[in-house]
Amino acid sequence: MKIGTLIITLIIFSAVSFSQEKYGSEFSVNLVIPSGPNAKFYNNGFGASGNFYYDLETNIRIGISIGYLRLTANSEEIRNQYESIVSDGGLEASGSIRALPLMITFKLITPDNPVRIYGALEGGLWTYWTSVSGTFNNNGGIVTIDKSEFRSEAGFAAGMGILFRLSQVISLDIGVKYQFVQDSEYLNVNRSSIETSRLIMIGAGLNWNFNI
C-alpha cells in the first residue's frame, strides 16, 4: 500500500514538473546473475527494463522503471542438494522464475560532460511467476512435481553506471546493480528446500534526454 502511494505521488509530482525540468526515457537489456546463498541453484538469465525519468537538478534524477527478467533452474544442483538430504535420491526437476519489477529510481550524476558517472538507488515491488515440474523418488515410488506460484515481494537495489554521450540528446548507458529481493521458497520436496536468491544485473542501453 505504501509503495503504491509513493508511485502515485511520483506520477502526480512529475506531471507538474515536466513543464520546467529536463526529462527523458531509458531502455536497457540486462544479463542477470544469481547471487546470495542459493545462487548455484539457478542459471544466468536475461531481461530488459524501461525507465521514464525527470531531472530535479542537473545532477539529481528520479523516475519510474519497469522490467522483465527470466531465470531457469539448475537441475543438476537441485538434484545434488536433494540427494545430500534424502538417501534414496532420484529428483529430476526443471523450472523457471519470471519477474516483473516496478521500481522508483533515484540517481546522483556527475556534471554534464561527454562521460558522466552515476550512483543509483531503487525501491519498489517485484511480481514473480515461478514454475517447477519433474519427478522424485519417495520410498521407492515415483512422485510427480507440478508446481506454479504467483507472488509479490518488496525489492531494493543499489548500483552505479556510466553515461557516454552519443549526441545532444542520446547517451549510451552501461551499469551494474545488486538487487536485494526478499528470499522466499522456490521448491520444497521431501525436506529439501530451495529459496529464491539475490541478483546481480549488468545492463547496457540507450538514454534519451530532452528539454521542454
Q: List, as one string, the DSSP characters of 40-104.
A: GGB--EEEEEEEEEEEEETTEEEEEEEEEEEEEB-HHHHHHHHHHHSTT---EEEEEEEEEEEEE
- The per-residue pLDDT for 120 is 97
For the chain, the domain total comes to 1
The average pLDDT across 157-171 equals 94
- The per-residue pLDDT for 174 is 97
Distances (CA, A) of 84 to 23, 94, 135: 54, 18, 17
Read off the CATH number of the domain in which 183 is found: 2.40.160.20
- The per-residue pLDDT for 17 is 43
The band of 194, judged by pLDDT with boundaries at 50, 70 and 90, is low
Q: What range defines the domain where residue 86 resides? A: 2-210
Q: What percent of the chain has pLDDT over 90?
A: 41
Interval 64-74: pLDDT, tens: 999 999 989 88
* Lowest-confidence segment of 27-31, 66-70, 135-139, 178-182 by average pLDDT: 135-139
pTM of the model: 0.79
Interval 7-40: pLDDT, tens: 445 444 444 444 444 889 999 999 999 888 788 8
The average pLDDT across 128-149 equals 77
